[in-house]
Structure 1
Amino acid sequence: MPTHSSKNAILQSLKLPEDVSVSELLGQGGRAQVFKAKLDDQDVIVKVYNKDVASKYLEKYNVDIAQFEFDRNKALFEINEIQEYVAKPFRVYPSSSRYSHSIIQEYVSGTILENLIKQLGFLPKEILDAGYLIVKHAEKNRIHDLDISVGNLKISKSNGFWKPKLYDFNIMPQYLFPPNLIVGLGYKLGIRKKSFRDYRSLRNWDRRGRQKKWIGRN
């Protein structure tokens, strides 16, 4: 974990426009550091990408990771039927920008789905229903591989109902870059559907919600 002084050093190293006010480091993952901030009067997060990961995306996939994630986020947010389940994207600063390599996105509060299932001991039906709605409309709009594992969504309660929200959009779709020849052939022949992993994740949600004891990570 970063020390107080190292956190301050990280904050001071950021280069962002004057209307973005960063308050704290929320966390660090394999691909990015996430900061809580204000954009005018809006609560937002600033996701700053790790240089080695950005280089990997450029070399392996020929994309700027910030632009890639922002575009995926924006495409999903613009689907009216599921907009309420997707974090709002605000800005992108690609590596060519004068600012830190980052995106700015709505701050999403709530409980990680994995933790909520553990706390409640079951999966509320409205969460699973919303999950299928999200995947259905994403698939209809040719967006696949949403990275919706139980550890990668936040859940909040609104008007007495649980609601999932997507906030992480930087996974590279497997059908574009298959991990091996067999998987690639499956996509090519239509044996493996482009949204295969999305529906598998939904089945895992349901399975986790029915388990007496939590086993595994997905």
Structure 2
Amino acid sequence: MGPLHPATAEQLADTVTAALAEKAKRVTVAFGEVTVVVAASDYPAAALILRDAKGCQFEQLIDLCGLDYSEYADGRYDGRRFCVATHLLSISLNQRVRLKVFCDDDDFPVVASLNDVWNAANWFEREAFDLFGIIFEGHNDLRRILTDYGFIGHPFRKDFPTTGYVEMRYDPEQKRVIYQPVTIEPREITPRVIREDNYGGLQ
């Protein structure tokens, strides 16, 4: 059974820092939440420590997502573009932590898979691969999960156009779904100016 009074964010930050030792590049507390950043080379080992170490015991991975920092401040966060953020929960100690790792190569972002540490990472990592193009080394079934089989690109990257590259529609003549270049034209949003004196029934 978990403690009646879980550790404060500051106490948890100290516990995580002590458990990870030199593997913790940075541990911060903001808005009552603890975030720990580790190097890509330390990512799997840090995950195991957070799962098993006394005072941590993060038995459950509740979320994992990719992040694209290409438009952050001067264009990068800590000099890197792609990041994986993992949210962990300790049911027994009633506490949470965010684990972040930055990919070393912007052109070919790769980090280790955590699927062997927490089974729940499986589909989350597939989603981050599909939407951000982050490769999870060691994942045994890394394929797209949300986009179509022949989809080109990764739609959550900041440089991916909002209209996409292709559109699909049903062609009644061919009696099948076909792909074609996007026909949507960028739209200018012009605010509507209302000049009627009695607009909305006001006199």
- Shorter-chain TM range is 0.3 to 0.5
Could you state the TM-score of these two structures normalised by the residue count of structure 2?
Answer: 0.32
Q: Please identify which structure carries the higher strand content.
A: 2
Structure number with bigger Rg: 2
Structure of greater relative contact order (alpha carbons < 8 Å, 6+ residues apart): 1
Could you state the TM-score of these two structures normalised by the residue count of structure 1?
Answer: 0.31
